[in-house]
Chain A
Amino acid sequence: GNSVTQMEGPVTLSEEAFLTINCTYTATGYPSLFWYVQYPGEGLQLLLKATKADDKGSNKGFEATYRKETTSFHLEKGSVQVSDSAVYFCALSVGAGNMLTFGGGTRLMVKP
């Protein structure tokens, strides 16, 4: 079956620190990979995605590279801001018509 494993949080960083949130997956087939972000009191929204090996998704200073050899899709940002405090979900989908499989989410807290 399909599954996504994320590092457990919370992750607490000071402003301008470097961020890495690890994500690994198992999939039957060739998945597309996603990172969603959930700000307090809101629903999830797509942050970035990658659809094939070695693709790099990027948005709002966040990046993640689809690594097929290590089945990973780690999220990185060079300098976090307080406004990045949120819960981050890694997810995969096999086939455009199939549902997303989400990881458990990682809470990020950025302190001024």
Chain B
Amino acid sequence: DAGVIQSPRHEVTEMGQEVTLRCKPISGHNSLFWYRQTMMRGLELLIYFNNNVPIDDSGMPEDRFSAKMPNASFSTLKIQPSEPRDSAVYFCASRRTDTGELFFGEGSRLTVL
């Protein structure tokens, strides 16, 4: 079975540019999570969706960040404009409803110069 699929795996961009990260959750999973991981702050929950509806976006750093889930099989995390302090690995995860287990993608490593 395919796991959680994220793209791109690596992105290098310049400050001020728009960045869009994509995620395809595991089919049948009703919840989707976006996390950010850095050495300084560790693993941070940015936002999560249940049944495509955003439930808690209190972890989104500021208005430059936005996330959408137009359908059950696709989500995006957008940063506009990007800044060097946004450099991190961004993980998407989907949750198996019956067990509560999270399945993570391999992450998107973002570098903003």
Contact between B56 and A43, CB atoms less than 8 A apart: no
- Is A112 interfacial (CB 8 A cutoff)? no
Contact between A105 and B105, CB atoms less than 8 A apart: no
Across the A-B interface, give the 3 residue pairs with the lowest CB-CB distance, nearest first. Answer: A43-B104, A44-B104, A96-B100
Contact between B50 and A44, CB atoms less than 8 A apart: no
Q: Which residues from chain B contact A32 at a C-beta distance below 8 Å?
A: 100
Q: A residues touching B (Cβ–Cβ < 8 Å)?
A: 32, 34, 36, 41-46, 49, 89, 93, 96-97, 99-100, 102, 104-105
| A36-B102, A46-B103, A99-B45 given; 14 more Cβ-contact pairs under 8 Å | A32-B100, A34-B101, A41-B106, A43-B104, A43-B105, A44-B104, A46-B101, A96-B97, A96-B99, A97-B50, A102-B42, A102-B43, A104-B43, A105-B43
Contact between B91 and A43, CB atoms less than 8 A apart: yes
Number of A-B pairs whose CB atoms are under 8 Å? 44
Q: B residues touching A (Cβ–Cβ < 8 Å)?
A: 4, 31, 33, 42-43, 45, 48, 50, 56, 91, 93, 97-107
Q: Which residues from chain B contact A44 at a C-beta distance below 8 Å?
A: 43, 91, 93, 102, 104
Interface of chain B, main secondary structure: strand
User: In the bound complex, how far is the Cα of B98 from the Cα of A96, in angstroms?
Assistant: 7
Residue in A closest to B44 when the chains form the complex, CB atoms: A102
Shortest B17–chain A CB gap in Å is 25
Contact between B100 and A46, CB atoms less than 8 A apart: no
Shortest A41–chain B CB gap in Å is 8
Contact between A99 and B106, CB atoms less than 8 A apart: no
11 A-B residue pairs with CB within 8 Å = A43-B4, A44-B43, A44-B91, A49-B101, A89-B43, A96-B97, A96-B99, A97-B31, A97-B50, A99-B48, A102-B42
